[in-house]
Structures are given as structure tokens and as C-alpha cells.
Amino acid sequence: MSRYDAPCAVNSMTSICIERIQNGFTVTATDPKIAAENEKSSKWKDSRREYRFDSVAAVCKFIEKIAEEALPVDPAPPDPFGKAFDAAVKATSDNDGDE
């Protein structure tokens, strides 16, 4: 089983994973620059990067430094059915009892 098949697998486009190894910790994180390039290019490159640390303190310091960039807040995607659904619900509500 590879590292990425483990329960802490990094499968999303933006993620941070911390794992204990025999002599410290690894942090696998999404590199947002590579992820952005993947969106624009037909040539895909793995955006996961693995870093090794000796202590929990070093892991925490690193995550504090990269968290905002590695885990961006995605704006809500456009909902093509949102207005149509709202209109259908309103029409149904307006017609309740008209049968």
C-alpha cells in the first residue's frame, strides 16, 4: 500500500496531511502555485509536496506559515439550478390548495 492509499491520503485539490514517521513527522501539503498551473494547462503535475520535520513544534510552525495559502477558501461555485429550484418551490407553494 502506498502512502497515498493510507487513511490520511491527500486526495483533494487543497489539503494538508500530517503523519508520524519513525524519526519525526511528514507533512504533505498542496502547493497552490502548481495546483493553479494545473487548472490552466493540459499538462498535469502532482501538486502535493512532502516535508519532513523532527518535532511537533516544527510541524505546527510550518502549518501556521502555509495554512492560509495551502487551504484557500473557495468561493461558492455558481449554482445553475438555484434560481430554477427556488422558482419551482415558490410556484408549488403558491398553488398549494388550488387542486
* Tens-place pLDDT, residues 28-40: 988 888 888 888 8
Is pLDDT larger for residue 1 or for residue 16?
A: 16
Range of the domain at 41: 3-95
By mean pLDDT, which of 6-10, 41-45, 56-60, 86-90 is the weakest? 6-10
- Asked if the model's pLDDT at residue 10 lies above 50, the reply is no
- List of residues 6+ apart from 25 with CB closer than 8 A: 18, 19, 52, 53, 54, 55, 56, 58, 59
**16 touches 70 (CB < 8 A):** yes
Q: With a threshold of 0.75, does the pTM exceed it?
A: no
At residue 20, the pLDDT reads 95
Please give the tally of structural domains in the chain: 1
